[in-house]
Amino acid sequence: MESYTEKYQNSSSPDANPDADTPRSSSSAVQRALLLIQSDDHDSKLQAAKDIRRLTKTSQRCRRQLSASIEPLVSMLSFQSPHSLHESALLALLNLAVKDDINKINIVEAGALEPIVRFLQSESSNIQEYATASLLTLSASATNKPVIGASGAIPLIVEILKHGSSQAKIDAVMALSNLSTHPDNLNIILKTNPVPSIVNLLKTCKKSSRTAEKCTALIESLVGFEDGKTALTSEEGGVLAVVEVLENGSLHSREHAVGALLTMCESDRCKYREPILREGVIPGLLELTVQGTPKAQSKAQILLRLLRDSPYTRSELQPDTLENIVCNIISQIEGDDQSGKAKKMLAEMVQVSMEQSLRHLQKRALVCTPTDLPIANCTSEVPSK
């Protein structure tokens, strides 16, 4: 499921593309909206907010032209008025902020955070959703990250992650992922004990989704702290949820997942080796060593070495190859299902490796065998590697 901002920006409503209008009609609509938003009449302001929302839905040009509406829109958020006015102002600001860093910063500087943070506690699920989506968009700005963290928004975003609507939970975890890249914010997030809620969302979402990617990215950051590691291993199905992403996630999700498990095992191999092995991680790691991103491949191989029985010694009779490492691990695994699957996958990997080597040799032979030269002359010209 996509974030509210993405879903809204991908809307296919008839008025979703103001750039399709002629420049003259678009300019006229922008001027009219700027005039109405400055009015003292609430109905005029409401109409202006709706027009701004429509005009800025997909038009970067209109976002620039309507940046002057930010302050009056922010002032609407503090009105003692029906939810409809707050909703329209929030949605207009949300569209103004999308893909426009200057507007993101100006919205925060205009004082929008205080009412938006207050809306996170609204009894209206719509207002909660719009406020969460707004913070997701605003938190994409590096300038805004520390300001949002200092505003008291993070504990409330975690509450949304725990108890909000399905859409609000998705936007909340994405907002937290954005905010976590600022070190001070990561400490605040950790203190709110978000791991159980992140794991719950990770369990229910599609493992190849962007939501799963943000969940595992956040988990990877949080397990860098002892409290984060303890929370993940204490949560029922926590490590398993990460392993499932490692097996079935997108390339970036799998990279975050193996990174999280590696961080845990590197910090205390004796403590975390068994909880990781218990969840059947070996087949996924084997696949990742050949099909992951370069970073994921490297991390998977390091984690496999840490998961074997004796990672710090090397026998002359047992070279430190991937096959021997995995065989060592398999011998320690309890349960025929996992061991059998790992053995089968290892055999398939060896077969694939042999086939790839054979194809490589065949290609080299074709490249270096001119039709007008004897084959015997060619073989001596094959460069050694």
pLDDT of residue 327: 60
pLDDT of residue 291: 86
More confident residue, 329 or 174: 174
Give the residue-averaged pLDDT of 257-280.
95
Cα torsion for 343, 348, 349, 350, to the nearest 10°? 90
Residues of the chain above pLDDT 70, percent:
73
pLDDT of residue 310: 58
Per-residue tokens: 176? 């937290």
Q: Which amino acid does the sequence have at 225?
A: F
Give the residue-averaged pLDDT of 113-131.
95
What residues contact 123, with CB distance under 8 A and at least 6 apart? none
Q: pLDDT tens-digit profile of 211-254?
A: 999 999 999 999 999 999 999 999 999 999 999 999 999 999 99
Q: pLDDT at residue 122 above 60?
A: yes
Q: pLDDT at residue 202 above 90?
A: yes
More confident residue, 294 or 382: 294
pLDDT of residue 182: 96
pLDDT of residue 84: 85
Q: pLDDT at residue 53 above 90?
A: yes
pTM: 0.79
Q: How many CB atoms lie within 10 A of CB 168?
A: 24
- What residue spans define the domains of the chain? 1-162, 235-358
Q: pLDDT tens-digit profile of 136-172?
A: 999 999 999 999 999 999 999 999 999 999 999 999 9
Q: pLDDT at residue 381 above 80?
A: no
Q: pLDDT tens-digit profile of 74-101?
A: 999 988 767 789 999 999 999 999 999 9
| For helices 153-163 and 166-179, angle between their N-to-C axes, nearest 10 degrees | 140
Q: pLDDT tens-digit profile of 357-371?
A: 455 455 555 544 444
DSSP notation for 308-351? SS-TT--BTTB-S-HHHHHHHHHHH--SHHHHHHHHHHHHHHHH
CA 21, CA 124: separation in Å to the nearest integer?
Answer: 35
Mean of the per-residue pLDDT values of the chain: 83
Q: Does domain 1-162 have CATH number 2.60.120.10?
A: no
Q: pLDDT tens-digit profile of 278-337?
A: 999 998 999 998 889 999 999 999 999 999 865 554 443 344 555 565 665 555 554 555
Q: pLDDT at residue 347 above 90?
A: no
CA 13, CA 71: separation in Å to the nearest integer?
Answer: 27
pLDDT of residue 314: 42
